[in-house]
Amino acid sequence: MTHRVDVTIIGAGVVGLAVASMVAKGRREVYLLEKNEKFGQEQSSRNSEVVHAGIYYDRGSLKAKLCLEGNSLLYELCEKNGIACRKCGKIIVATNEMESRELEKLYLRGRDNGVPLQMLSGKEMRQLEPNLKGTAAFFSPTTGIVDSYALMNYFLARAGENGVQVVYKTEVNGIKKQPDGYQISVNDASGDFSFMTKVLINCAGLHSDKVAEMTGIDLEEAGYHLHWCKGEYYSVSGGKNKLLNRLIYPVPTDISVGVHVCFDVDWRLRLGPHFYYVDEISYKVDDSGKYAFLESSMMKALPFIEPSDLAPETSGILAMLQGSGEGQRDFVIEHEYKRGLPGFVNLVGIESPGLTSSPAIAGHVSRLVDEILGS
C-alpha cells in the first residue's frame, strides 16, 4: 500500500528548514527531502550572511514585507536561542556625484518601506567610520550579520522536535497530481520509490523552477524560469578588518546590491559578491575576476585596501527570476490552486533577502498550509 503523509517539503536550505520548523506542529506527518548529503549546501551556505533591513525592494512587494518582518524575527530568535548574530549596522556610501543622486533615491525608497535610516553629514560619516571616503552616505542601524549555519541548525532542531522526518540523499524526480494529493517519486541510495502527500511545498532553491515544472506548470507562461547568477567573494588580508566598525555597501547596480564589505560574526573581512550570470553550477573562483573588485566603488571608498590584500575565496549562486538587464522581480510564494494544483505551495526565485526573510517566509507558508489542511 502507498505510504501517505500530510506535508512534503522539497529542499533543506534555510527556507525549507524554517518552513519545516513551523508546519508540523507536532501533529502532522511531514517529510523534508534533500538531494544532498547534508542540509544547506547550496545558496544558504554560500552568501553574505547579512540580515538585511529592507531598503532595496519595491514598496508593497513580498521581498519588502518579508524582509522587514524577517529582520526583527531573526534578531529575536537569535537572542532567545544563543545563535551568533551582530546588529552592527551598515553605511551605504556614494563615491561620486552621480552615485550621490542614486543614493538619495535609495534612501527615500528605504524610508518609504518603513526602514529606519539616517542621512549622514561628512562629519558624522567620519565619526562612525574614520577610514571611509565618500561624497554622501546614509546609515542603516537595523542591518546586521548572522551565523547562517547556526540558524539552519536551530531550524533543523525545531523541525525534529515537531516530528519532521528529514531525509538526505533523496532527490525528487517526479510529481503526479492525484485526486487526493500528489504522488512523489524519489531516488535514493536504495533506488526509486514513491509515496503520496496531501500538501507539497517547493523549497528547491536553484532547482525550484524544475520542481514546479514537474507538476505540469509551463515555466515560460508562468514566468517561473530561473536564471543563475554567480557571486564571487575575495578575502581581504593584512589586518584591514580592524579599520572598519560596520558593514559598508556601495550604491546598488542593476543586478545586485553591489560588491560590498562582508564581515562574518568573527569579523573576518571579505569583499563581494561580484555577480554575473552563468549556465552551470561551479563554485570555482580564481584570479580572473579581480579586475571587477579593483574597479568597484568599494575600492574608492576604502582606499586603505591594497590590490595585494585581495585573494579569491568562495562563491555562491543565486536563483534569480530576472535575467540580464531585466528589472527587479519579487519572490514567488503561491498556493497554486488557480493553476489547478490545490495543495501545491510553490516558492520560486527566493534569492536575496531569502536568508533574512526565512522566519517570515516560514510563517507565511505555514498559514497557507493551515488554510489548505483546515486547521
Ligand X SMILES: Cc1cc2nc3c(=O)[nH]c(=O)nc-3n(C[C@H](O)[C@H](O)[C@H](O)COP(=O)(O)OP(=O)(O)OC[C@H]3O[C@@H](n4cnc5c(N)ncnc54)[C@H](O)[C@@H]3O)c2cc1C
266 to 40, 79, 147: CA distances (angstroms): 20, 17, 9
Q: Report the residue closest to ligand X, judged by CB.
A: 354
- Is the separation of the CB atoms in 128 and 139 below 8 Å? yes
Query: In which residue are the cell numbers 543563475 written?
Result: 228
Q: Which residues contact 364 (CB under 8 A, 6 or more apart)?
A: 66, 333
Q: Which CB atom, from 50 or from 136, has the smaller least distance to ligand X?
A: 50
Q: Does 181 bind ligand X (CB under 6 A)?
A: no
Kindly state the cell numbers that stand for 54: 529592507
Of 113-121, 135-143, 205-213, 297-305, the segment contacting ligand X by CB under 6 A is 205-213
Q: Which CB atom, from 262 or from 302, has the smaller least distance to ligand X?
A: 262
Of 101-109, 155-163, 290-298, 315-323, the segment contacting ligand X by CB under 6 A is 315-323
Q: Does 142 bind ligand X (CB under 6 A)?
A: no
Query: In which residue are the cell numbers 561580484 written?
Result: 274
Q: Which residues contact 151 (CB under 8 A, 6 or more apart)?
A: 14, 74, 78, 83, 355, 358
Of 113-121, 123-131, 350-358, 365-373, the segment contacting ligand X by CB under 6 A is 350-358
CB 135, min distance to ligand X, A = 25
Q: What angle do CA 119, 92, 43 make, to 5 degrees?
A: 140
- Is the separation of the CB atoms in 240 and 311 below 8 Å? no
Q: In the 8-state DSSP scheme, what is residue 236?
A: E
Which residues on neighbouring strands pair with residue 231, listed in sequence order?
A: 275, 316
Among 91, 159, 203, 212, binds ligand X (CB under 6 A): 203
For 204, the 3-state DSSP assignment is coil
Q: Does 260 bind ligand X (CB under 6 A)?
A: no
Of 113-121, 126-134, 159-167, 312-320, the segment contacting ligand X by CB under 6 A is 312-320
Number of amino acids touching ligand X (CB under 6 A): 42
Alpha carbon 370 to its chain centroid, in Å, reads: 24
Among 134, 205, 250, 359, binds ligand X (CB under 6 A): 205
Query: What residues between 5 and 44 interact with ligand X by CB under 6 A?
Result: 10-16, 33-36, 40-44
Q: Which CB atom, from 134 or from 144, has the smaller least distance to ligand X?
A: 144
Q: Does 215 bind ligand X (CB under 6 A)?
A: no
CB 82, min distance to ligand X, A = 21
Which residues on neighbouring strands pair with residue 7, listed in sequence order?
A: 30, 199
- Is the separation of the CB atoms in 47 and 316 below 8 Å? yes
Binding site for ligand X (CB under 6 A): 10-16, 33-36, 40-44, 46-50, 52, 171-172, 203-207, 211, 231, 273, 316-318, 350-356
